[in-house]
Amino acid sequence: MTTIQTVAFDDQKPGTSGLRKKTRVFMQPHYLENFVQAIFNAIGGAKGKTFVVGGDGRFFNDRAVQVILRMAAANGAAKVIAGRGGVLSTPAASNLIRQRKTDGGIILSASHNPGGEDEDFGIKFNMANGGPAPENITDAMFREASVIVSYNIVESQDVDLNAVGETTLGGMAVEIVDSVADYAALMEQLFDFDAIRAMFTSGFTMRFDAMCAVTGPYATEILEKRLGAAPGTVTHGTPLPDFGGMHPDPNPTWAHELMDEMMGPDAPDFGAASDGDGDRNMVVGRGVYVSPSDSLAVLAANAYLAKGYAKGIAGVARSMPTSAAVDRVAKDLGVEAFETPTGWKFFGNLLDAGRVTLCGEESFGTGSDHVREKDGLWAVLLWLNILAKRKESVADILQAHWRKYGRNYYSRHDFEAIETEKANAMVSALRKLLADLPGRSVEGMTIAAADDFAYTDPVDQSTSAKQGVRILFEDGSRIVMRLSGTGTQGATLRLYLEKYAESGFDQDPQEALAPIIRAAHELADITGYTGRVEPDVIT
Ligand code: VG1
Ligand code: CO
């Protein structure tokens, strides 16, 4: 065991979901090591503890796992459980942390960001409940990383990450597991595999685009092997360190191959895609795209059809920018609905306290209390379960949902890689404007309220301020703006747009939202501050 002297980096501040930087930043001497030591320091040390380690398999994942194993050993950890090849999807890691009653886990991923030597890498810590570390812990990591002077590491040869079974490293036990089996077993407990298998046997067709990312092996095992979907149902199913050059963000822009097929003449009945680390999902029916906010609402309304949720759901939670569609379902079911800041870490307390069963975000994330992360394949399986029980098409289920609850037209516009100073100037100008906005009329709509979202956790009363600017109109329409906390280059402005309709469900969302889009540009002067006229990505 050696103690290495180091110098702190001043930029190791975790964002929405862990620390994300360019891969080359992580590869520079001491960068990863400093942050790993900061994690151990922030959680009161590693001595005697058991951790899970794994990542989405992107470039540098394998090297990082070896470093973490040697540092965990040097810091006195009792045991580390690692995914075979150093790979674990984020939901599978969350499951392993919980099932094996460990003290937490280190997950290596930059999720939906591209991978490769010149792309992105990331690291985050999940607590013993399987969920992302809450803000007080990520703040402590940043403080530790800012003052670090040394870290501990064992000098040793690499552990063979492909040899499933137990070994030791510097006195610490290392167990390599194949996590697909554990994860598939959990899914079998929640969903009616027999009903889904019968649907596939009777000719139901599906495409699952794993985008050369971590979900491939999980999807192939569950969909093709256990549920009997036709071979070839899973495409891009082999995980690659650079995701084959794909941008593993399951949205209509980046999953365009799937979108083209689903909108084409020979579309399968159902399509889905997931992201780099397997916690996101996009769901598409034949000829119809399901917005993530609608997906969450449909899942909440129909969850009782799956055996794992047959007793009903305790409540729902959504991130603030997510549409209010799920709130309407909660009201109808007579259960609580919570509105939290962006990022899965804010759902943990509500899930642990049993206040909510389902959670979701507009950014293609849905999940439940089965783990403490969003879970892409879980959402796909719940959809399949619902389709198998209702025996209707995705399009029919959506139409029926809107007829019952009305439709929350919704879209997110992303303006990427803006110069940070310009983005900050735009947001501060907007914040200054907020107090004067109520009563003002834009595009023929009157502003009812405007604020910067602040949240008090209902379970532990912790508070989080400045979580996104909201402009609410008298007719219930809404504009939300915030800057991304997962990017690695400049700033990304996320503009969220929403409008509720009680009838007329067949409009193009961009058309239905046109006045709100114009109002957002006028109020924030997006073009004036950033020079941008059009968004880079529309979801
Ligand atoms: C984005 C999404 C947010 C999500 C986060 C992590 O954050 O908007 O809803 O929780 O990514 O998802 P931001 O700060 O860039 O808006 V994942 O699948 O990248 O871990
Ligand atoms: Co992800």
The three state secondary structure string of 224-237 is: HHHCCCCCCCEECC
By CB neighbour count within 10 A (0-12 exposed, 13-18 middle, 19+ buried), where does 416 fall? middle
Nearest residue by C-alpha to atom 3 in ligand 1: 343
Give the CATH architecture of domain 182-405: 3-Layer(aba) Sandwich (3.40)
Q: Which atom of ligand 1 is nearest to the CA of 363?
A: 9
Q: Which positions ≥6 away from 206 have C-beta within 8 Å?
A: 200, 223, 229, 233, 268, 269, 270, 271, 272, 384
Cβ 213 vs Cβ 255: under 8 Å: no
Which of 342, 412, 539 for mutating ligand 1's site (highest number of atoms within 8 Å of CB)?
342
Q: How far apart are CA 277 and CA 60, in angstroms?
A: 14
Residue 310 — φ and ψ, nearest 5°? -60, -25
How many Å lie between the centroid of ligand 1 and the Cα of residue 356? 20
User: What pLDDT, on the 0 to 100 scale, is given for residue 179?
Assistant: 84
530: which strand partners?
none
List the pLDDT tens digit at each of the 539 positions of the chain.
999 999 999 999 999 899 999 999 999 999 999 999 999 999 999 999 999 999 999 999 999 999 999 999 999 999 999 999 999 999 999 999 999 999 999 999 999 999 999 999 999 999 999 999 999 999 999 999 999 999 999 999 999 999 999 999 999 999 999 989 999 999 999 999 999 999 999 999 999 999 999 999 999 999 999 999 999 999 999 999 999 988 999 999 999 999 999 999 999 999 999 999 999 999 999 999 999 999 999 999 999 999 999 999 999 999 999 999 999 999 999 999 999 999 999 999 999 999 999 999 999 999 999 999 999 999 999 999 999 999 999 999 999 999 999 999 999 999 999 999 999 999 999 999 999 999 999 999 999 999 999 999 999 999 999 999 999 999 889 999 999 988 888 899 999 999 999 999 999 999 999 999 999 999 999 999 999 999 999 99
Locate 42 and state its tokens: 């922030």
Query: Which residues place a Cβ less than 5 A from the ion ligand 2?
Result: 111, 275, 277, 279-280
Locate 203 and state its tokens: 């000719």
Q: Which positions ≥6 away from 521 have C-beta within 8 Å?
A: 527
Nearest residue by C-alpha to atom 20 in ligand 1: 111
Rg (CA), the chain: 23
Query: Does 182-405 match 2-177 at the fold level?
Result: yes
Locate 418 and state its tokens: 């803006």
- The percent of the chain in helix, strand and coil, each rounded to the nearest 5, is 35, 25, 40
Q: How far apart are CA 54 and CA 88, in angstroms?
A: 5
Alpha helices in 85-233 (DSSP H): 90-99, 135-147, 179-190, 193-201, 215-219
Q: Which of 17, 111, 274, 477 is labelled catalytic?
A: 111
Tell me how long the chain is.
539
Amino acid at 38: A
* Dihedral sign for Cα atoms in the order 138, 104, 275, 240: positive
User: What pLDDT, on the 0 to 100 scale, is given for residue 137?
Assistant: 96
For residue 20, what are the CA distances in angstroms to 12, 107, 346? 9, 12, 19
Q: Which listed ligand is nearest to 537 at the C-alpha? A: 1
- DSSP conformational letter for 221: I
Cβ 361 vs Cβ 401: under 8 Å: no
User: What pLDDT, on the 0 to 100 scale, is given for residue 22?
Assistant: 96
How many Å lie between the centroid of ligand 1 and the Cα of residue 66? 27
Q: Which atom of ligand 1 is nearest to the CA of 343?
A: 10
Locate 103 and state its tokens: 């003290």
Q: Which atom of ligand 1 is nearest to the CA of 109?
A: 20
Q: Hey, is 463 helix, strand or coil?
A: strand
How many Å lie between the centroid of ligand 1 and the Cα of residue 485? 7
Amino acid at 336: E
The pTM assigned to this predicted structure is 0.94
Buried b (16+ CB within 10 A) or exposed e, 25-44: bbbeebbbbbbbbbbbbbbe
For residue 420, what are the CA distances in angstroms to 183, 249, 488, 493, 537? 40, 23, 11, 10, 18
User: What pLDDT, on the 0 to 100 scale, is given for residue 476?
Assistant: 87
Q: How far apart are CA 275 and CA 210, in angstroms?
A: 7
Residue range 407-538 forms a domain whose CATH class is alpha beta
Q: Which listed ligand is nearest to 340 at the C-alpha? A: 1
User: What pLDDT, on the 0 to 100 scale, is given for residue 487?
Assistant: 84
Q: Where are the beta strands (DSSP E) in 465-527?
A: 469-473, 478-483, 491-501
Amino acid at 338: F
Cβ 107 vs Cβ 55: under 8 Å: yes
Q: How far apart are CA 384 and CA 365, in angstroms?
A: 17
Q: Which listed ligand is nearest to 363 at the C-alpha? A: 1
How many Å lie between the centroid of ligand 2 and the Cα of residue 438? 37
Q: How far apart are CA 365 and CA 238, in angstroms?
A: 22
For the question of residue 111 being annotated catalytic, the response is: yes
Amino acid at 322: T
Locate 53 and state its tokens: 């380690």
Q: How far apart are CA 481 and CA 413, in angstroms?
A: 10
User: What pLDDT, on the 0 to 100 scale, is given for residue 507?
Assistant: 94
Pocket-forming residues, ligand 1, beta carbon under 6 Å: 16-17, 111-112, 275, 279-280, 319, 342-344, 361, 363, 365, 484-486, 494
Domain ranges of the chain: 2-177, 182-405, 407-538
Q: Which atom of ligand 1 is nearest to the CA of 276?
A: 18
Nearest residue by C-alpha to atom 4 in ligand 1: 343
User: What pLDDT, on the 0 to 100 scale, is given for residue 267?
Assistant: 97
Cβ 122 vs Cβ 20: under 8 Å: yes
Residue range 2-177 forms a domain whose CATH class is alpha beta
Q: What is the 3-state secondary structure (H, E, C) of 65-112?
A: HHHHHHHHHHCCCCEEEEEEEEECCHHHHHHHHHHCCCCCEEEECCCC
